[in-house]
Amino acid sequence: MRDVSKFLSGFRRFQQNYLGEQRVLFEQLVQQGQRPRALVIACCDSRCDPALLTDCDPGDMFVVRNVANLVPPHVQATYFAATTSAIAFAVHNLEVEHIIVMGHAQCGGIRALMEHKTPDCNEEELIAKWLGIAEEARQQVLREFNDKPIQMQANVCEQSAILVSLENLMSYPWISSRVQEDKLTLHGWYFDMRHGELYEYRPESGVFEVLVDNLEVATYQI
Ligand SMILES: [Zn+2]
């Protein structure tokens, strides 16, 4: 695609919808600033825009996107500051009440982590370094699903990596204290784009369970 006219006509529709029809909302956001209630940590993947998936308005969610929706542990916070500074801003300045780590099916980053190829250029080294945050998830998948096909391993790892990120979030004292004081709730969500469903990690059962099912599939099955 050499021209960007699709994006420009989209911006025209945005003007009509938000600067026209939703003028009150936008005036509020301009005059009073943002006050999102949730921080969402999502993948850069072009198919997983959290605001689009949740049909949110501007101002509803503060979003950090990175390869494979990872959260570095506290000990590496300054090394991976692009993600951690955004988390700090959301928690410290915006005082969000929820942090949602939103993983997804068919994640190219997690697939690359599972394939574990030796990087042969600077670009691949950068990606491998970042994906190393989820190494613990890869090791767990290898222990339990070593004889399974790579795509299945990757799908399991997509969910395990979300749990690593949730664990890493709790390694920040200013996050764990807010969680303990009930000011902040952490969520692990998984968007299964194959079936159009949203899953949530439930600590009670230790697995991801359907949070929002696909009505069309349910109707079709009946
Ligand atoms: Zn991804």
CATH for 36-221 is 3.40.1050.10
Q: What is the pLDDT of residue 167?
A: 98
Q: Which residue has the higher pLDDT, 215 or 177?
A: 177
CA of 7 to the centre of ligand 1 (A): 22
Highest mean pLDDT among 21-25, 99-103, 217-221: 99-103
Q: What is the pLDDT of residue 219?
A: 45
Please compute the mean of the pLDDT values over residues 111-134 and round it to a whole number. 96
Tell me the pLDDT of the chain averaged across its residues: 94
Q: How far is CA 47 from the centre of its chain?
A: 12
CA of 193 to the centre of ligand 1 (A): 11
From-to residues of CATH 3.40.1050.10 in the chain: 36-221
CA of 153 to the centre of ligand 1 (A): 15
pLDDT tier, 181 (very low <50, low <70, confident <90, very high otherwise): very high
CB atoms within 10 A of CB 152: 12
CA of 10 to the centre of ligand 1 (A): 24
- 16: tokens are 């009509």
The DSSP string of 24-74 is HHHHHHHHH----SEEEEEE--TT--HHHHTTPPTTSEEEEEETTS----G
pLDDT tier, 220 (very low <50, low <70, confident <90, very high otherwise): very low
CA of 105 to the centre of ligand 1 (A): 8
Per-chain residues with Cβ under 5 A from ion ligand 1: 43, 45, 107, 109
Please compute the mean of the pLDDT values over residues 127-135 and round it to a whole number. 98
CA of 67 to the centre of ligand 1 (A): 6
Q: Which residue has the higher pLDDT, 180 or 18?
A: 180
Q: Which residue has the higher pLDDT, 135 or 1?
A: 135
CA of 11 to the centre of ligand 1 (A): 25
